[in-house]
Chains A and B, each alone.
Chain A
């Protein structure tokens, strides 16, 4: 089955700096890669996702890049703010038109702390 590794497990940055979180996956058939943000005491919330037909996707201060050859993808947050402090999870799965694989495999998470 799919295995997703996520690094680092903790990341501390100063407000205004950039933060990068990296994930690798093992199944070359995976083609859908979402990122979730989990604030303390809440459920994970989807913040951005990328499919394997594109190499990069951006939404305001966050961006995700994908390298299919190397089987890794990364989350980039620019101009970090204290409210970006949370646990971030990457995940991978296979989307297809007729199959039965609906399962996301998650990384173990990164605790991001943005210091004012």
Chain B
């Protein structure tokens, strides 16, 4: 049981390049999330997927797109990377979609992205 896995662990991009961050969970969770973490800013929600087939914007969605490929996988795409997107990106999942006592979120190890 690997929990939440993310690939790649590290990535360096040039301004304007595109890339997709991959996330998968093996806990049969319904909801999945993408966060970014910047120094002094805590964790900010980019996009989330409450259940398979649905996605919604979070606090900082500009410059990103997501795909909930199936129940297990949730990818984050940067179409045209900018230096402001230099950050650590975390994927998370939780068991229930909007239910009681199911919101505990489990995080992956993160992807460290640098855009030059």
CB within 8 Å of B: which residues of A?
A: 6, 9, 32, 34, 36, 42-46, 49, 51, 89, 93, 95-104, 106-109
Place the interface of chain B in its size category.
20 to 34
Contacting pair B104 A42 (CB below 8 A) = no
- Report the separation of the CA atoms of residues A34 and B45 in the bound assembly, to the nearest whole angstrom: 16
Q: For the A-B complex with A93-B103, A95-B101 known, give 11 more contacts whose Cβ atoms are closer than 8 Å.
A: A43-B4, A43-B108, A44-B43, A45-B107, A97-B100, A99-B98, A100-B50, A100-B98, A101-B98, A102-B31, A102-B48
- Chain A nearest Cβ from B94, distance in angstroms: 7
Q: Which of A43, A49, A103, A106 contacts B104 (CB 8 A)?
A: A49
List 17 interface pairs A-B (beta carbons < 8 Å), by A numbering: A9-B40, A36-B107, A44-B107, A46-B104, A46-B105, A89-B42, A93-B103, A95-B103, A97-B99, A99-B98, A102-B97, A102-B98, A103-B45, A103-B58, A106-B42, A108-B41, A109-B42
**Residue of chain B at shortest CB distance from A42:** B109
Chain A residues with Cβ under 8 A from B100's Cβ?
95-97
Inter-chain residue pair count (beta carbon < 8 A): 65
Within 8 A of A (CB), among B5-21: none
Chain A residues with Cβ under 8 A from B40's Cβ?
9, 108
**Residue of chain A at shortest CB distance from B112:** A41
Contacting pair B50 A104 (CB below 8 A) = no
Residue B106 is within 8 A (CB to CB) of chain A in the complex: yes
Chain A residues with Cβ under 8 A from B48's Cβ?
102-103
- Report the separation of the CA atoms of residues A46 and B104 in the bound assembly, to the nearest whole angstrom: 8
Given contacts A104-B45, A107-B42, A109-B42, contact A98 B98 (CB under 8 A): yes
Residue B74 is within 8 A (CB to CB) of chain A in the complex: no
Given contacts A46-B106, A97-B99, contact A89 B43 (CB under 8 A): yes
Given contacts A43-B107, A45-B107, A100-B50, contact A51 B101 (CB under 8 A): yes
